[in-house]
Amino acid sequence: MVKSTITRINLKTPEPSMNPASPTSGPKSSSSWRILDYLKISSSPKQSVSPSNTSLNLKEQAEKAKSVCKCSCCGTVLTFPENTHKFCCPHCHTTNLLHLDLTADPPVHLLSYNYVNRLVDQALHSEKKIENSHELHERLKPLSDYLFQAFGSMACLNESFKLKRKSRRPHYSTANLDYDDVRKIFDLLTSLPSRRPLYYALSGACHCLKRLPLNLCDDPRNLSWVMVLFEIPFLSKALTNNDKRSQHRPGSMVEVPEIQALCYEILKRVLGIFSQAESTLTGNYVASWFSKRSHVDFMAKVELINLYITFHLKKYFYFANNPELARRSSSGGGLENTHRRNSSIPTPPPQQDESHLVKPTIKEARSNSVPHVQDDEYFQYSYLKDEVEGMDTLAPPVSLQQLTSGPLSPRSRGSKKKKHDAKIRVHQYSSNYHLRTASGALSIFVKANYIRYGENKLQAHAFYNSLVDYVNIKLDYDAWSSRRKSSRQDVGTEPALQTVIDYIHGSNHVPFTESPSTTFYFCQYPFLITLGGKIAILEYEARRQMERKAEEAFINSLDRRVTLDVYFRVRVRRDYIVQDSLRCIQLNPNNLKKSLRVQFINEPGVDAGGLKKEWFLLLTRALFSPHAGMLSYVEDSNFLWFNVVPVDNFEMYYLFGAILGLAIYNSTILDLKFPITMYKILLGLPIGLADYQEIFPMSARNLFRLRDYSAEEIESLDLTFEVTFSDPFGTRYTKDLIPGGSNLVVDGDNRELYIDKYARFFLWDGMSKQLAAFKGGFSNVVDGNAFSLFSPEEIQLLLCGSEESKFDVDVLQSVTNYSGWASKEEATESSTVKWFWEYVSGLTYKQQKKLLLFITGSDRVPATGIQNLTLKISRLKTAGGDSDRLPVAHTCFNELALYDYISKKKLAEKLDKAVNMSAGTLKSSLGLKGAARTLSSSASALTPYKQPDFSAYLNDRSESKNKNFTYFMVGSMGLLSAAGAKSTVEAFLSSMSASADVLAMAKVEVKLGAIPEGNNVIVKWQGKPVFIRHRTPDEIAEAESVDVQSLRDPETDDVRVKKPEWLVMLGICTHLGCVPIGEAGDYGGWFCPCHGSHYDISGRIRKGPAPLNLEIPQYEFTDDSTLLIG
């Protein structure tokens, strides 16, 4: 047995890439970018020999010299003596051969359906009738022996099933294999009256797969036999039918445990070989071969590999939910010993019928005359669920049918953590070579999917594995990304400050790991992680970096005696929103990863989410305007693309990139209409002719017609290697596609180069500086490893949300939360809620989007689907069970507050009025799909009013107070030890956001005796501000004297208060959910500076865009001096 070293070579992702190479060279040449653009070619790994000790004599050197090589199946790095010709891997038990000639003549007749069918006819179709099973086996013995020898011969398999026998050169376009012939052979074998021929064929294949040459992946032609074995049609049966095995007899021979065990062994080793070829030139050929398969075949292979990953991952799922089982396995040295010790794992049931499979002895197996006995690994994994169910002390395992909901699904969100919610941890699967090889094999199909076109191309979700949602993916990400921590520090972080922060987090040392290349992480193969999991990682990384920046700001404030600010604050003027935004971003390059807060100058509002949404909306609208000249609208594709006209102001493109990064970082959906090419550029992926065809379909169609022209026709066009274009003002520009292009005529020999250069100019070369500035702005905000996990399609969903053809109202209804009712059941049974969902179901798609825009501030659903939309419906009780007031939407909280209405018709009328009054729709002149929100927020759109002086309402910012704060912080820091500093910072950070129990608090008690007459008090109830005003007699008289018929939302003062002197209401503007300020505005009540809404001393809307009065919460007076809210 060969000694295994610590390390294993993983060919997929040796290091997480922080800054993918940008495609500075643009698309590849015409022939290469169809395939080779997506197939990264790397040379095969070479054998390395460890240096010998020069002090030893030659004989000792020969005895002690060791070679190092990687197993051809599992990839484990092994050492072996130099003078040997083979060695065995202790992990996968593969015999690795140093030399094997696959070009030798096959020892038996080549395999084909016709030949095997002829042998079957000779065995069964004779004049003599078969009397018993012994005679049947004797008749089939020549067939069985032939199948074992043929499938056990690598040379025979490699030369069989050829479409063109004379073809000796590998081709990207085809594997030169007749897959139908392979499937017909196995269909024939499964229809025979005995299982023995099928068993012998599969056993021969297993025997062949256990002896592999080290140079197997050097030549693509060497893998033809592996492609043949991967085409066995019932390999998946080994992974799906084991739960039924103990319940009833097998229905067909492919359900027999011994047959399934052989199928498992074949699949395991085939995937191992594919994984070793993945990063080589041979792997590129294999990817190209699979890309040519039909949609059904390609999808079936992807599902098969994912099923194999699930088969192995569910073992750790059982361990995570049954700790006793995990302890048994670890204490006994692994699952194998668990299988031997516990009788609860059944052995394969004996076969009682006449076609019982004979188990050959080891001596017979070594003689290669009959198949050898397979390993028991498959049975250990297959019957693990039976062992769990047989252990009285353990809870029954969660059925895998329950995995469709997943821990990231809405059904699991918001619910209490159950016993079976335990996560699979990294240490459980990190050394499992099965997961590593299967993931490596599946990456070949991901590569193949990139070069498939049209409807045959699978969506990213086709590669997701739902069981990965049960992995502790955040720990997996931390372990994966920490491998390059020592080689990179956060930009803008001082080394000394970084040391302090690392100490606070306990991360100032590099944790011991076995070796970077030995471990398997799911983040190495992100195509397995669902979009919900990737978003969770991105939010986790963003939150961690925001907290890190807050800590830096705190520590800097102590050291430098500066004011603490844990937010990235953007202060802009509405009329100069682009210039001011650019200035804020350029002056704060190290603060972009803080939590974003927006303030419009001369509008001292509080950003509770509404201002941030409006800032993104107004800024992107200004950047995308045709007058900005940054982007051009392509009518043929309805896309926006970068303007090829020369510009000097590259800062605008930098701002555009930074805005997209901030939107991702702050979980904000934008209304964008860009092709997938833009997201490829952000990820550093290659772009090519397919991208040009997506953006400029008409131009691409005409350009590609040059390939159909004869040389004479092309010359008659008089084309040269130059391009002419014009700007919106009619100015024409001419550029050479290559140096001296104006003097080079396009002919039949260089037309592919012309097509390549022409498309390349409008994709990259013509605006390379603009794209570089755009990508630089984006990378300055989003530069973590988390972003590299996404595909271009997923980034598009993340930024733009999902454009569904129609909302699934049933799903949205199932995930909606309710407030104001005793329970969710009571809420769903109430007439108001029933009428609301009936109203939503009856809307058109366009109307549904307007309603969603009214409630959430965006007409797009989240990237992960409408099931992950956080929606809340609150009940506003009214006397008599009817109200004339309009519903209220709080966009910051995705909340819709409904009054009780007497009929469904009245509710629909009020909703229609509220939706249409709050915002209109604007059809974009750029042809963007969907409706964009028109905010009544600009000064010109409002009723003219005199801007009041708000200095009296602002906090006192005197110099003495600032000094006192600074002296206190500096003095307290001098008294703290290192451990004390850690606890202080953690306490400070936790105080920045409300705790869970505060947010969930149902009732708040307020002592009224502490509130003087004529003063306001703000308290927090259920995470929302509540205004309490102790009104004076003059204020009461003023509120009662108003003519309510002239009000937008008619409501008398006595309806809004229970005691005239006490006014209690929610401090949330009914326009976009901002927080108004008190004792301000034109009516002496409250003023929302965000959009100019004025409320009187009774909280009624008097002027501005807000449609409704400030909402009155549920409250009561328990006595004369105590108020209970809730």
- What residues act catalytically? 1091
At 73 the three-state DSSP class reads: coil
CA distance 282 to 715: 40
At 584 the three-state DSSP class reads: helix
CA distance 801 to 663: 12
Sorted by sequence, the CB contacts under 8 Å of residue 634 that are 6+ apart come out as: 640, 641, 695, 696
String of b and e for 307-329 (b: at least 16 CB within 10 Å)? Answer: bbbbbbbbbbbbbbbbeebbebb
- Phi, psi torsion values for 976, nearest 5 degrees: -95, 140
Mind spelling out the 3-state secondary structure of 988-1023?
Answer: HHHHCCCCHHHHCCCCEEEEHHHCCCCCEEEEEECC
Q: Which of 231, 666, 685 is nearest to 451 (CA)?
A: 685
Q: Which of 1073, 1022, 618 is nearest to 891 (CA)?
A: 1073
- Phi, psi torsion values for 1124, nearest 5 degrees: -115, 115
Q: List beta partners, residue 632.
A: 641
At 937 the three-state DSSP class reads: coil
Strand runs (DSSP E) across 18-99, as ranges?
A: 48-49, 66-70, 76-81, 86-88, 95-97
> For residue 265, what is the enclosing H or E element?
helix 257-277
- Phi, psi torsion values for 86, nearest 5 degrees: -160, 160
**Chain Cα centroid distance, residue 619:** 27
Sorted by sequence, the CB contacts under 8 Å of residue 874 that are 6+ apart come out as: 818, 819, 820, 895, 896, 897, 898
Are the C-beta atoms of 623 and 652 separated by less than 8 Å?
yes
One-letter amino acid identity for 87? F
- Check the CA dihedral 298-302-308-314 and report its sign: negative
| Cβ burial, residue 299 (10 Å; 0-12/13-18/19+) | middle
Axis-axis angle for helices 133-151, 113-124 (nearest 10): 160
CA distance 851 to 841: 12
Structural Rg of the chain based on CA atoms:
35
CA distance 503 to 988: 16
Q: Which of 1065, 975, 1059 is nearest to 1017 (CA)?
A: 1065
| Cβ burial, residue 1031 (10 Å; 0-12/13-18/19+) | buried
Are the C-beta atoms of 103 and 278 separated by less than 8 Å?
no
- In this structure, what is the dihedral angle of CA atoms 650, 653, 659, 661, given to the nearest 10 degrees? -100
CA distance 758 to 754: 6
CA distance 1122 to 1028: 12
One-letter amino acid identity for 657? G
CA distance 884 to 900: 9
One-letter amino acid identity for 666? N
Six-digit token pair at 1068? 């949330």
Axis-axis angle for helices 295-321, 257-277 (nearest 10): 110
Pairing of strands 1122-1125, 1115-1119: antiparallel
CA distance 665 to 168: 53
Q: List beta partners, residue 423.
A: none
